[in-house]
Amino acid sequence: MNNATGAATDFSFSGLTPDVIANALASVGVDPASGLLALNSYENRVYQFVADDTKRYVAKFYRPARWRDAQILEEHAFTAELLAEDVPAVAPLELDGATLHYFEGYRFSVFPSVGGRAVEPGDMNELERIGRQIGRLHAVARQGEFKHRGTINADYFVTQSLQTLRQTELIPEGLQNAFWAIAEPLAERLLTTDLAAYDKQRLHGDCHLGNMLLREDELTFVDFDDALTGPAIQDLWMMLAGDDRQERWMQLDALVSGYEEFCDFDARETALIEPLRGFRIIHYMAWLARRWQDTAFQRAFPWFAEQRYWEQQVLAMKEQLAALQEAPLELHPNFNC
């Protein structure tokens, strides 16, 4: 079951029993005094517990064979950099001189449990504060580079994702023609996106409101599992909510206004908002298809196997292709970039 890195050789969590989890934690000197509460993480297995020191912790067991050790450790180092610069982020604890641990073929890390409430979408004052916090994150991110994490590119997010979707049997037979009639032209349009024309930097990678916690009037970044290299706008565009173009335009101005207090923003990158949204739509479907044999995914996303979901995706892709044919969102003409 083990390979050279100590990680399991397939994507299965079948051997990760409560006893294995408890023994893994004990191996690094952490003894749960409470039961293990499974948190909403599907790619990995994440558990919250109270240890015998009465403190709350979170144990994260990485999906086997997904990341190389060097990629996980690079994520850990990035979060440590952020904390060293007083950017609120949740980083793994160093136990026995390491942040990444091994037990019976599984890799895991232990984090402090950080509480907080979710951030409300669309609030202009909140968006400016979010922009400031992402600007602080990016100011640190630009001081170094990833050597092992991936880079946003159309081949992985679009081409390989479509290959996965062609192999899945989940798309209803009666929708196959309609699905591919829009998926193919959407992909063709997305593949024309010239990412090479923009500067790249380290990113959170999956920076949406669900990965931010508001605690004691401070925004904290969580879950850097998808950290990668790409244009700055990747960590900003998911903050824009709603279908009204005027509203999203105002949201973008508020977001970038806060961002530029700490980090310069290339206004040209607003042209990447809709292409990156298109990347995410296609990649998300493929991600679910790749993981569908994991029963945790079947329990969490039962609608993925239903016709209604695929009908909605056909509509979403049509809307996205139309959005790509519109002029991109731009900052307010009076915005001082």
- Per-residue model confidence as pLDDT tens digits over 116-149: 888 877 677 789 999 999 999 999 999 999 999 9
Global confidence as pTM: 0.92
Domain of 176: which CATH number?
1.10.510.10
Q: Residue 169's pLDDT band (boundaries 50, 70, 90)? A: very high
Percentage, residues of the chain above pLDDT 70:
95
Write the DSSP assignment of 257-296 as a string of letters. Answer: HHHTTTS---GGGGGGHHHHHHHHHHHHHHHHHHHTTSHH
- With H, G, I as helix, E, B as strand and everything else as coil, classify residue 244: coil
5/11 Cα distance (integer angstroms):
15
Tell me, yes or no, whether 332 lies in a domain: no
Residues 33 and 88 in one domain: yes
Residues 166 and 106 in one domain: no
Residues 142 and 96 in one domain: no
Q: Residue 4's pLDDT band (boundaries 50, 70, 90)? A: very low
Q: Are 150 and 74 in contact (CB under 8 A)?
A: no
Q: Are 78 and 202 in contact (CB under 8 A)?
A: yes
Residues 315 and 203 in one domain: yes
Tell me, yes or no, whether 289 lies in a domain: yes
Across the range 166-184, mean pLDDT stands at 96
The residue type at 222: V
Please indicate whether residue 53 is annotated as part of the active site.
Answer: no
Across the range 231-255, mean pLDDT stands at 92
Residues 46 and 136 in one domain: no
273 pLDDT above the threshold of 90: yes
Residues 183 and 278 in one domain: yes
Q: Are 278 and 186 in contact (CB under 8 A)?
A: yes
271 pLDDT above the threshold of 80: yes
Give the pLDDT score at 2.
Answer: 32
| Domain final position from 63, 93, 113 | 113
Across the range 176-194, mean pLDDT stands at 97
Q: What are phi and psi of 213, to 5 degrees?
A: -125, 135
Residues 72 and 174 in one domain: no
Tell me, yes or no, whether 34 lies in a domain: yes
Of 223, 225, 235, 253, which one is the catalytic site residue?
A: 223
Residues 98 and 157 in one domain: no
Burial of 9 (C-beta count, 10 Å sphere; 0-12/13-18/19+): exposed
Residues 192 and 232 in one domain: yes
Cα–Cα distance list, 232 to 13, 241, 267 (Å):
34, 18, 10
Please indicate whether residue 223 is annotated as part of the active site.
Answer: yes
Give the pLDDT score at 270.
Answer: 96
| Domain final position from 87, 113, 139 | 113
Give the pLDDT score at 117.
Answer: 84
Q: Are 145 and 245 in contact (CB under 8 A)?
A: no
Number of domains forming the structure of the chain: 2
Helix locations, the chain, DSSP H? 18-26, 69-84, 124-141, 154, 161-167, 176-190, 245-259, 273-291, 295-300, 307-324
Tell me, yes or no, whether 226 lies in a domain: yes
Residues 216 and 289 in one domain: yes
User: Is 2 labelled as part of a ligand binding site?
Assistant: no
Across the range 304-321, mean pLDDT stands at 97
| Domain final position from 86, 113, 140 | 113
Give me the domain span that covers residue 133: 124-324
Give the pLDDT score at 52.
Answer: 92
Residues 199 and 271 in one domain: yes
Of 10, 69, 123, 206, which one is the catalytic site residue?
A: 206
Tell me, yes or no, whether 161 lies in a domain: yes
256 pLDDT above the threshold of 70: yes
Give the pLDDT score at 10.
Answer: 52
Cα–Cα distance list, 332 to 53, 252, 329 (Å):
52, 9, 9
Residues 192 and 90 in one domain: no
Q: Are 93 and 101 in contact (CB under 8 A)?
A: no
Closest CA to 44 of 26, 25, 59: 59
Tell me, yes or no, whether 118 lies in a domain: no
Percentage, residues of the chain above pLDDT 90:
80
Across the range 305-316, mean pLDDT stands at 97
User: Is 44 labelled as part of a ligand binding site?
Assistant: no
Tell me, yes or no, whether 119 lies in a domain: no
Tell me, yes or no, whether 329 lies in a domain: no
Q: Residue 8's pLDDT band (boundaries 50, 70, 90)? A: very low
Domain of 107: which CATH number?
3.30.200.70
